Amino acid sequence: MNPRGWIICGALLGAIGVSTGAYGAHGLEQRLIDQGSDAKEVVDAMRSYDTAVRYQMYHALAIVAIGIMAGRRASRPLQTAGFGFLVGVVLFSGMIYAQVLLERAIHQLIPLGGGAFILGWCALAVAGFRLPHPSNDPSS
């Protein structure tokens, strides 16, 4: 994906994250109660949902940063990091949302999403290692 695409993708994931977070703060608890969840189930679901929103927001910001970095110096590790973060949001956060809101999810995909996040962060570290040292970079 090009730098512009990463920035747009991250920004949209951020907007969706704010929206899902607002719903979690203002409507989810009552929905769970109305569905017949007991107090412990409500607390557990709210905690899981909050984790999904937080991870989505962290990775939305990371994707925007990848777009900015790729605009200066594109690389395969940056692309890998971006796709790792994107897949992680879909599988990790998305499956938790499905589990809480729809009472169904493919639970085995949640850890794969976490693994995609880890892959993304490792790829971002590789991208960082490949950057020239500031004292050797004529553009700095």
Each residue's pLDDT expressed in tens, for the chain with a length of 140 residues: 999 999 999 999 999 999 999 999 999 999 999 999 999 999 999 999 999 999 999 999 999 999 999 999 989 999 999 999 999 999 999 999 999 999 877 888 999 999 999 999 999 999 999 988 777 656 65
In total, how many domains does the chain have? 1
- Domain assignment present for 135: no
- Domain assignment present for 57: yes
- Domain assignment present for 38: yes
- Domain assignment present for 138: no
For position 132, what pLDDT does the model report?
83
Domain around 47: 3-128
Question: What's the first-to-final CA gap in the chain, in angstroms?
Answer: 26
- Domain assignment present for 37: yes
- Domain assignment present for 139: no
- Domain assignment present for 140: no
Distance CA 127, CA 52 (A): 26
